C-alpha cells in the first residue's frame, strides 16, 4: 500500500516560485522534483488541450487520467493561458514578475517571439533564473524536434543498446528526457545558489543531446579519450565480466561481478573453484578477453538451479546477483527492503521522490492538477499571487 506522509512546515525550496511553461517530460520532471522539495510550481498550459501527456493513454488510473501525465506533475497548480493573445502574454508576465524561476522547453526562439525570451525577462527581472530546455541547442539544431526516441537514435544510445548484430534498441523509458530533467534541476539549483550569494539571476540552458552525451559516461569516454567506437553487446559490459544476464533453470539472472574476489566467491559457490585460477579468467581483463568461454562455463552450472535459488545464495556469499524482475516485482522488492517507493497524494498513488533529506524531506502536498484548475485562483483574485 502507498505510504502517506505528513507535510512538514517547510521544504528546502520553500518560498521559491517556478513559472513552468514546459510540457511532456524533461521540464515537468525537473519541476516536479523541485516542487517535492518545497518549491511552488505554477504549470502553464494551453487552453482546452493542456500538456500533451494528458492525452497519452492508455494506461489510465481509476479516474481515467493518463498515468503518463501523473508521473511528472504532482505538487503543481495548473493555469491555462493562450500565449497567442495579448491577454495570455500579459498574464504570463504577471506570473513571471512574482516568480523566481522560469522553465520552458519550446523550440528556441519561440518565447522570444512572444516577448518572453530570456534576454528580455532577465533585463526586466535581474534576479530571475531562466531555464531553457531544448532538443539540440539554440544554434544549428534549433529547428530540430526534440523527441526522446530521436535523440536516443542520433545521440548514440541505440547504437550500444541491443544484441550484437541485431537491431538497435531504445531504452524502455524516455531515459534522455529523465536525464535532461535531472540536469535541468541541477542547473536551476546552482543558479539559485549563485543568486543567493550575488543577487544575480542567469540563463540555464540544457539540451537533450548534450545530456545524453554526458550520460553515455564510460562509452563516451572510451571514444573521446581512447578512440574506441563501441557497439552492441546485449546485456554484457564492455569492460567487466561476468557482468550480464545468464540463463538459469527458470528465468534470467543478472550477475554483476566487479572484482576478482567476487569472481572467486562465485566460482566457489558454483562448485567450480578452479575457474578463479584459470589463466583465461584470473583477472577482469582476462575474463573480458574470454567472455564467451566464461559465459559457457558459468551458464552450465547456473542452469542447474532457479534464479531465485541463486539470488539467495550468491549475495549471501558477497556476489552481486538478482533475477530480472517485472516492474510489479521491482516494487514488491523495494517494499521488502523497506524503501518507500510509493506514496499516496490525496488518493493518487505516486512513485516516491528518491531523494531523502533528514531535515527537509520531500513532501507531497498536491495531486497532479486538473487542466486549468487554478486559473481563477491566480488571475481573478485581483492579486495574481495565488494566495
CA-based nearest residue to 75, from 382, 348, 339: 348
Residue 201 and residue 62 share a domain? yes
Quick check: is 75 in a domain?
yes
Residue 277 sits in a domain whose CATH number is: 3.30.1540.10
Question: Average pLDDT for residues 286-302, to the nearest whole number?
Answer: 97
Cα 287 from chain centroid (whole Å): 33
196 catalytic, yes or no? no
Residue 300 and residue 179 share a domain? no
Separation CA 82–CA 87 (nearest Å)? 8
Question: Average pLDDT for residues 240-244, to the nearest whole number?
Answer: 97
For residue 115, what are the contacts with CB-CB under 8 A and spacing of at least 6? 89, 93
Place 94 in a pLDDT band, splitting at 50, 70 and 90: very high
For the chain, list the strands marked E by DSSP.
17-20, 40-45, 76-80, 101-104, 129-134, 202-207, 243-246, 253-256, 321-323, 342-345, 348-351
Residue 64 and residue 30 share a domain? yes
- Give pLDDT, residue 291: 96
Quick check: is 86 in a domain?
yes
- Give pLDDT, residue 378: 86
Quick check: is 313 in a domain?
yes
Sheet holding 40-45, edge to edge: 76-80, 40-45, 17-20, 101-104, 129-134, 202-207
Residue bearing the bigger pLDDT, 238 or 10: 238
Q: Which residue in 177, 196, 278, 329 is the catalytic one? A: 177
Separation CA 227–CA 220 (nearest Å)? 10
Residue 5 pLDDT > 60: no
Instruction: Please answer whether residues 76 and 33 qualify as being in contact, where contact means their C-beta atoms are separated by less than 8 angstroms.
Output: no
Domain boundary among 323, 348, 367: 323
Residue 174 and residue 294 share a domain? no
For residue 236, what are the contacts with CB-CB under 8 A and spacing of at least 6? 243, 244, 291
Cα 228 from chain centroid (whole Å): 27
Encode pLDDT of 168-191 as tens digits: 999 999 999 999 999 999 999 999
Residue 298 and residue 174 share a domain? no
Quick check: is 114 in a domain?
yes
What the block records as the C-alpha cell of 167 is 537491431
Question: Average pLDDT for residues 362-377, to the nearest whole number?
Answer: 95
- Give pLDDT, residue 6: 43
Longest C-alpha distance within the chain, in Å? Answer: 80
Residue 383 pLDDT > 50: no
Instruction: Please answer whether residues 117 and 33 qualify as being in contact, where contact means their C-beta atoms are separated by less than 8 angstroms.
Output: no
Rg (CA), the chain: 25
Residue 295 and residue 197 share a domain? no
Residue 194 and residue 105 share a domain? yes
CA-based nearest residue to 352, from 124, 33, 59, 137: 33
Residue 132 and residue 200 share a domain? yes
Encode pLDDT of 60-76 as tens digits: 999 999 999 999 999 99
Quick check: is 280 in a domain?
yes
- Give pLDDT, residue 365: 95
Cα 105 from chain centroid (whole Å): 16
- Give pLDDT, residue 1: 46
- Give pLDDT, residue 4: 46
Please, which contacts does 112-120 make with residues 24 or more away whose CB atoms are closer than 8 Å?
114/83, 114/89, 115/89, 116/21, 116/83, 116/89, 116/92, 118/203
Place 10 in a pLDDT band, splitting at 50, 70 and 90: confident
Residue 303 and residue 345 share a domain? no
Residue 161 and residue 89 share a domain? yes
Quick check: is 154 in a domain?
yes
**284 lies in which domain range?**
253-323
Quick one: 24 exposed, middle or buried, by C-beta within 10 A (0-12, 13-18, 19+)? buried
Quickly count: other Cβ atoms within 10 Å of residue 358's Cβ. 5
**C-alpha dihedral (253, 299, 283, 236), degrees to nearest 10:** -50
- Give pLDDT, residue 381: 56
Residue 294 and residue 357 share a domain? no
Question: Average pLDDT for residues 318-331, to the nearest whole number?
Answer: 96
Encode pLDDT of 78-88 as tens digits: 999 999 999 99
Quick one: 111 exposed, middle or buried, by C-beta within 10 A (0-12, 13-18, 19+)? buried
Domains held by the chain: number: 2
Place 2 in a pLDDT band, splitting at 50, 70 and 90: low
Encode pLDDT of 149-159 as tens digits: 999 999 999 99
What the block records as the C-alpha cell of 73 is 506533475
Quick check: is 275 in a domain?
yes
Residue 210 and residue 268 share a domain? no
What the block records as the C-alpha cell of 116 is 518572453
Amino acid at each position: 500500500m502507498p505510504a502517506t506522509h505528513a507535510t512538514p512546515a517547510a521544504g528546502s525550496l520553500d518560498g521559491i516560485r517556478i513559472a513552468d511553461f514546459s510540457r511532456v517530460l524533461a521540464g515537468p520532471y525537473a519541476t516536479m522534483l523541485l516542487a517535492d522539495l518545497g518549491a511552488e510550481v505554477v504549470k502553464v498550459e494551453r487552453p482546452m488541450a493542456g500538456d500533451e501527456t494528458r492525452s497519452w493513454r492508455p494506461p489510465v488510473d481509476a479516474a481515467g487520467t493518463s498515468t503518463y501525465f501523473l508521473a511528472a506533475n504532482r505538487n503543481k497548480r495548473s493555469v491555462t493561458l493562450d500565449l497567442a493573445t495579448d491577454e495570455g502574454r500579459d498574464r504570463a508576465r504577471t506570473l513571471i514578475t512574482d516568480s523566481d524561476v522560469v522553465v520552458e522547453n519550446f523550440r528556441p526562439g519561440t518565447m522570444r517571439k512572444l516577448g518572453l525570451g530570456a534576454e528580455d525577462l532577465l533585463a526586466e527581472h535581474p534576479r530571475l533564473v531562466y531555464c531553457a530546455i531544448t532538443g539540440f541547442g539554440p544554434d544549428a539544431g534549433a529547428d530540430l524536434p526534440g523527441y526522446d526516441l530521436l535523440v536516443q537514435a542520433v545521440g548514440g544510445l541505440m547504437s550500444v543498446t541491443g544484441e550484437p548484430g541485431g537491431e538497435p534498441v531504445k531504452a524502455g523509458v524516455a531515459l534522455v528526457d529523465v536525464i535532461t530533467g535531472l540536469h535541468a534541476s541541477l542547473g536551476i539549483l546552482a543558479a539559485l545558489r549563485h543568486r543567493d550569494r550575488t543577487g544575480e539571476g542567469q540563463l540555464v540552458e540544457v539540451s537533450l543531446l548534450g545530456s545524453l552525451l554526458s550520460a553515455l559516461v564510460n562509452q563516451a569516454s572510451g571514444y573521446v579519450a581512447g578512440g574506441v567506437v563501441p557497439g552492441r553487446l546485449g546485456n554484457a559490459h564492455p569492460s567487466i565480466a561476468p557482468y550480464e544476464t545468464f540463463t538459469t533453470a527458470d528465468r534470467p539472472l543478472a550477475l554483476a561481478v566487479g572484482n576478482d574476489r567476487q569472481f572467486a566467491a562465485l566460482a566457489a559457490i558454483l562448485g567450480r573453484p578452479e575457474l578463479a585460477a584459470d589463466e583465461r579468467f584470473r583477472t577482469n581483463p582476462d575474463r573480458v578477453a574470454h567472455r564467451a568461454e566464461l559465459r559457457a562455463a558459468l551458464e552450465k552450472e547456473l542452469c542447474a538451479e532457479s534464479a531465485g535459488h541463486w539470488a539467495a545464495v550468491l549475495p549471501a556469499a558477497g556476489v552481486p546477483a538478482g533475477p530480472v524482475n517485472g516492474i510489479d516485482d521491482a516494487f514488491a522488492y523495494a517494499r521488502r527492503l523497506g524503501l518507500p517507493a510509493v506514496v499516496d497524494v490525496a488518493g493518487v498513488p505516486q512513485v516516491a521522490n528518491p531523494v531523502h533529506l533528514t531535515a527537509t524531506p520531500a513532501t507531497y502536498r498536491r495531486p497532479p492538477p486538473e487542466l486549468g484548475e487554478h486559473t481563477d485562483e491566480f488571475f481573478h483574485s485581483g492579486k495574481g499571487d495565488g494566495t
